[in-house]
Structure 1
Amino acid sequence: MQQWGYEKHNGPDTWHDLFPLANGNHQSPINIITQDATHDPSLQPLLVDYEPHSAKVISNNGHTVTVEFDDGDDSSVLRGGPLVGSYRLRQFHFHWGPSDGHGSEHKVDGVDYAAELHIVHWNSEKFSSFVDAAYAPDGLAVLAVFLKVGEPNRYIERITDTFDAIRSKGKESPFTNFDPSCLLPASMDFWTYPGSLTVPPLLESVIWTVLKEPISVSCEQLAKFRSLLFTNETAEIESCCMVTNHRPVQPLKNRNIRASFV
């Protein structure tokens, strides 16, 4: 049995038993109340500079599907927005829910989207490794993109086309020549706030940048995400599909949400 997961016996409601930070003061995701967000004119435009050849592998880690990148140098970085300096691209992954309309982690005025993409970066100017950065308040930067039900997304299709090879936990497949900026919306307006990883160990080391404009994904494409398995091929327990893998929103407490737009 997995130590943590998204089923009733090991889901988000139980994470605090193993990971006390689950009850911390800077937990993610959150519900973004737009009227309470403060426009901050000092926020810089977001600058993404990704090298397609740094993409390495796509895998099923038993919790989500992840695309990993070579982060040995600054060939793929995120700058601007709320960030000081550049943050190296490490990986991206997805969260989704049991129905096509509900599955994003963050909400906007109480409304969620069908799914959410997280593009994960780390502060290579201050830290020597991703692991070191993950334990520092300004160590990680995650760019979040909402997915809404609509037209099929040809860039998402490139990802779902690999799912037969990585259907079960622990499977991976080469995945190269992919620029994640193709998954970003036309508008780069965003909200930002200090938060945490949304999966254990829930470290409070993330500068979140949540893009306002969603991208599209079709019902058929979402169904492919839910067909992946939490379990591995040799699991003694019954195969279990990743029907949902998102954490509910957490209390904002005393944090401020800043907006790059009026």
Structure 2
Amino acid sequence: MAQWGYTGETGPAHWCDNFPDAKGQRQSPIDIVTKDAKVDAALGPLKLTPARCADVVNNGKTVQVNIDSSETNMCGGPLKHNYRFAQFHFHWGSKDGQGSEHTVDGKPYDAELHLVHWNTDVFKAVGEALPKDQGLAVLTAFIKVGKENSAWNKLVALLTNVKCKNDKFSIQEAFDALSLLPENKSDYWTYEGSLTTPPCYESARFIIYREPVEVSAEQMSALRGLLSYCKGETPCCNASDNLSDNYRPVMPLNGRVVTASFQA
């Protein structure tokens, strides 16, 4: 895959040079304009099943936790198929007030969590589902700095093992990714979109919880303290050495409808 990043000549404005899907008509993320969201009272909560977290890796672009599952982990809500949990990862800012990929009425949050699931009714493997329409469903939660979140303590402990790019750590103790989600799982927005990183395939349905998750400043610093270079490499002594501001700017809606499960 061609080189890509979040700044300069490899940044989001240039992704379409090497990844043609990045200039498609249903790209993500988007700004959710709450007054324009279409309410569908028939949208109920999703059925979510926990899965085993296998390992955590710093890939130089984000921190990702890979999931070991052989069953359906998500269905219902706006989904017409059954989906299996593959991985979750984060996008975050170097300071408060920026970091989320999606925005709400123009307002960004400090970070965003993506739980990526793939369609097991239609496809045989996540790699097959990745580029295809209805291949993925991404359960999404906004994160803001505020009070301490006890569920994040286990996550923060895991992050200490993947400080540098290419660090990988096998997870032995049970860790439930669903504990990172907000308490209110009934209120969400949903729309058809794309991967928010290259190759930006237009294969993802986003389900975005209305209620943000609060974490403390110290817990957020565990993300902001991760590094974008490998052990043994000489850092460049600039802001990009820290793994932060790994979010794509919002993309045009292009006539798509955002649906809400709740009346604002």
Q: Which TM-score applies when normalising by structure 2?
A: 0.93
CA deviations on 1:171-205 (whole Å, 9 max, x unpaired) are: 11112411111111111110000000101111100
Q: How many residues are treated as equivalent by the alignment?
A: 257
2:204 aligned residue (200, 203, 206) = 206
Change over 3 Å in CA distance of 1:11–1:157 after alignment to 2:
farther
- SS of match in other structure, 1:173: strand
Separation of aligned partners in 1, 2:158 and 2:178: 19
Structure 2 portions without partners, runs of 5+: none
Map 1:124-163 → 2, pairs under 5 A: 124-163=120-159
Equivalent residue number for residue 27 of structure 2: 27
2:198 matches 1:197: no
Equivalent residue number for residue 180 of structure 1: 177
Equivalent residue number for residue 225 of structure 1: 223
2:93 matches 1:92: no
Instruction: Kindly indicate whether the alpha-carbon contact (under 8 Å) linking 1:100 and 1:222 is maintained by their aligned counterparts in 2.
Output: no
| Residue type of the alignment partner of 1:168 | C
- SS of match in other structure, 2:133: coil
Separation of aligned partners in 2, 1:105 and 1:38: 21
Equivalent residue number for residue 247 of structure 2: 246
Instruction: Kindly indicate whether the alpha-carbon contact (under 8 Å) linking 2:88 and 2:115 is maintained by their aligned counterparts in 1.
Output: yes
- SS of match in other structure, 1:57: strand
Separation of aligned partners in 1, 2:79 and 2:33: 22
Instruction: Kindly indicate whether the alpha-carbon contact (under 8 Å) linking 2:53 and 2:177 is maintained by their aligned counterparts in 1.
Output: no
Alpha-carbon shift at residue 43 of structure 1 (Å):
2.0
Separation of aligned partners in 2, 1:184 and 1:163: 18
Separation of aligned partners in 2, 1:246 and 1:58: 20
1:106 aligned residue (97, 102, 108) = 102
Instruction: Kindly indicate whether the alpha-carbon contact (under 8 Å) linking 1:46 and 1:78 is maintained by their aligned counterparts in 2.
Output: yes
1:121 aligned residue (117, 122, 138) = 117
Equivalent residue number for residue 57 of structure 1: 55
Equivalent residue number for residue 167 of structure 1: 163
Structure 1 portions without partners, runs of 5+: none
Instruction: Kindly indicate whether the alpha-carbon contact (under 8 Å) linking 2:154 and 2:175 is maintained by their aligned counterparts in 1.
Output: no
Alpha-carbon shift at residue 85 of structure 1 (Å):
2.6
Instruction: Kindly indicate whether the alpha-carbon contact (under 8 Å) linking 1:226 and 1:244 is maintained by their aligned counterparts in 2.
Output: no
Separation of aligned partners in 1, 2:235 and 2:224: 18
Separation of aligned partners in 2, 1:163 and 1:208: 26
2:21 matches 1:18: no
| Residue type of the alignment partner of 1:186 | E
Separation of aligned partners in 1, 2:25 and 2:169: 38
RMSD between aligned residues: 1.5
Separation of aligned partners in 1, 2:88 and 2:8: 26
Separation of aligned partners in 2, 1:218 and 1:57: 24
CA deviations on 1:20-73 (whole Å, 9 max, x unpaired) are: 21111010000000000000123232111113xx210011011101110113x1
Identical amino acids, percent of aligned pairs? 43
2:74 matches 1:78: yes
Alpha-carbon shift at residue 140 of structure 1 (Å):
0.2
Alpha-carbon shift at residue 237 of structure 1 (Å):
5.7
Q: Which TM-score applies when normalising by structure 1?
A: 0.94
CA deviations on 1:201-238 (whole Å, 9 max, x unpaired) are: 11100011000001111112222211111111243563
